[in-house]
Amino acid sequence: MKKQRMLTGLQPTGVITLGNYIGAIKQMVENQDQYDSFLFVADLHSITIPQDKEELSKKTRSLIALYLACGIDPKKNTIYIQSENPYHANLSWLLECNAYFGEMSRMHQFKEKSKKHENFTVGLFTYPVLMAADILLYDTNIVPVGIDQKQHVEIARDIAIRFNKKYGDTFVIPEPKISESGTKIMDLVNPTQKMSKSAENEKGVIRILDDIKVARKKIMSATTDSEMVIKYDPENKPGISNLINIYISLTDKTVEEVEEEFKDSNYGTFKKKVADEVEKLLTTIQTKYQEILNSEELDKILDEGRDKTIEIAKIKYQEAKEKMGFHR
Ligand code: TYM
């Protein structure tokens, strides 16, 4: 039986966080045997806000090396760079002309990010349509993402359904896949906010390439509360609940098991255990990362990914274009 296709992408903006790892990459690693997996670097998305052009390609390469270091197997995944395949931007235009200003204006991420920049680009606004193109080009069935990207996958679904109705069956309707524990890893200092690559306070963010001692310190000084009870209650105990989420994601335990395990412990003991798990993860990834970063293997993987995805995307793009009436 043909495997279903799973696809996701991450932006090369800053070293990925524990949130990115748990929300997207870990899910890809865990499901790579079961699905035909596509994983890319969304570098075109990153330029919706200003990027240093000297750094962009370095960050892209670093992210690919991190994918592999995190356990993404190049034999089981098609790995590529979005900007190396012209059909993403091409299809995006066709889809833009089938997407509405009103629905794009309702995207949470646009509303948030446009507030932060006085003079934001049109690209920031049309960003979800490019994301829809990334997904729809490859007949994607499932899209593992953190909860912050769920709305974008839903708009990709809406656009696909609308296109199919208007022009005939063309696109597979994708489903978002949100891992239960990793829906949203929160900032360690301010646990009511998402842990973000672009956070202002580095103390709130664990980056996969953080120095191990620094990462441990961040966990040990994470904001909690004055109750001293290790109980999952995101509303009233956001700090502890976030640490529980991190712990269960890294150990594959359940909330109940963790509450039981630490029912007689204080916050310091619990935090130390969380820090141990984070240390284990970071040590493994960082050792592999250094080996991979400058290897020739990386370029070979990217060349293959580029050639394969161009071939697939070209066919889908031509089909969409013709259905819209572009032919001689
Ligand atoms: P990006 O680069 O912001 O984030 C990459 C992935 O990490 C998830 N994530 C989190 N998950 C849990 N907790 C957090 N604190 C956290 N922060 C981030 C995100 O949900 C995402 O899954 N638009 C996308 C990139 C993209 C894409 C696509 C994804 C472009 N085209 C097509 C899927 C399919 C983005 O900016 O992700």
Active site includes 197? yes
Q: Please, what is the average pLDDT of the chain?
A: 96
What is the full DSSP assignment across 249-282? Answer: HHH---HHHHHHHTTT--HHHHHHHHHHHHHHHH
Q: How far, in Å, from the CA of 164 to the mean position of ligand 1?
A: 26
Q: How far, in Å, from the CA of 32 to the mean position of ligand 1?
A: 18
| Substitution site in 104, 145, 196 for ligand 1 pocket (most atoms within 8 Å of beta carbon) | 145
Domains observed in the chain: 5-183+296-323 (3.40.50.620), 202-289 (1.10.240.10)
CB 254 within 8 A of CB 248: yes
Ligand 1 contact via 74 beta carbon (within 6 Å) = no
Q: Which pLDDT score, from 0 to 100, does residue 92 have?
A: 98
Ligand 1 contact via 23 beta carbon (within 6 Å) = yes
What is the full DSSP assignment across 2-56? Answer: PPPEEEEEE--SSSPBHHHIIIIIHHHHHHTTTSEEEEEE-HHHHTTS---HHHH
Ligand 1 contact via 128 beta carbon (within 6 Å) = no
Ligand 1 contact via 143 beta carbon (within 6 Å) = yes
Ligand 1 contact via 8 beta carbon (within 6 Å) = yes
Q: Which pLDDT score, from 0 to 100, does residue 164 have?
A: 98
Question: Please, which residues bridge with residue 207 across strands?
Answer: 17
Rounded to an integer, the average pLDDT of 87-107 is 97
Q: How far, in Å, from the CA of 231 to the mean position of ligand 1?
A: 28
Reported as a single tens digit per residue, the pLDDT across 182-234 is 679 999 999 999 999 988 899 999 999 999 999 999 999 999 999 999 999 99
Ligand 1 contact via 187 beta carbon (within 6 Å) = no
Question: Token pair of 173, please?
Answer: 């309707």
Model-level pTM greater than 0.75? yes
| Substitution site in 59, 129, 148 for ligand 1 pocket (most atoms within 8 Å of beta carbon) | 148
Q: Which of 104, 37, 110, 47 is CA-nearest to residue 77?
A: 37
Reported as a single tens digit per residue, the pLDDT across 136-185 is 999 999 999 999 999 999 999 999 999 999 999 999 999 999 987 667 99
In terms of C-beta density within 10 A (0-12 exposed, 13-18 middle, 19 or more buried), how is residue 135 classed? buried
Ligand 1 contact via 184 beta carbon (within 6 Å) = yes
Q: Which of 174, 161, 187, 173 is CA-nearest to residue 98?
A: 161
Q: Which pLDDT score, from 0 to 100, does residue 178 have?
A: 92
Q: Which residue lies with its CA nearest to atom 16 of ligand 1? A: 19
Ligand 1 contact via 148 beta carbon (within 6 Å) = yes
Reported as a single tens digit per residue, the pLDDT across 32-71 is 999 999 999 999 999 999 999 999 999 999 999 999 999 9
Active site includes 3? no
Q: Which pLDDT score, from 0 to 100, does residue 181 have?
A: 67
Of the residues 76, 150, 184, 197, only one is catalytic, namely 197
Q: Which pLDDT score, from 0 to 100, does residue 117 have?
A: 81
Q: For the ranges 127-141, 173-187, 232-246, 312-326, which has the lowest average pLDDT?
A: 173-187
Active site includes 217? no
CA 326, distance to chain mean position in Å, is 34
Q: Which residue lies with its CA nearest to atom 36 of ligand 1? A: 11
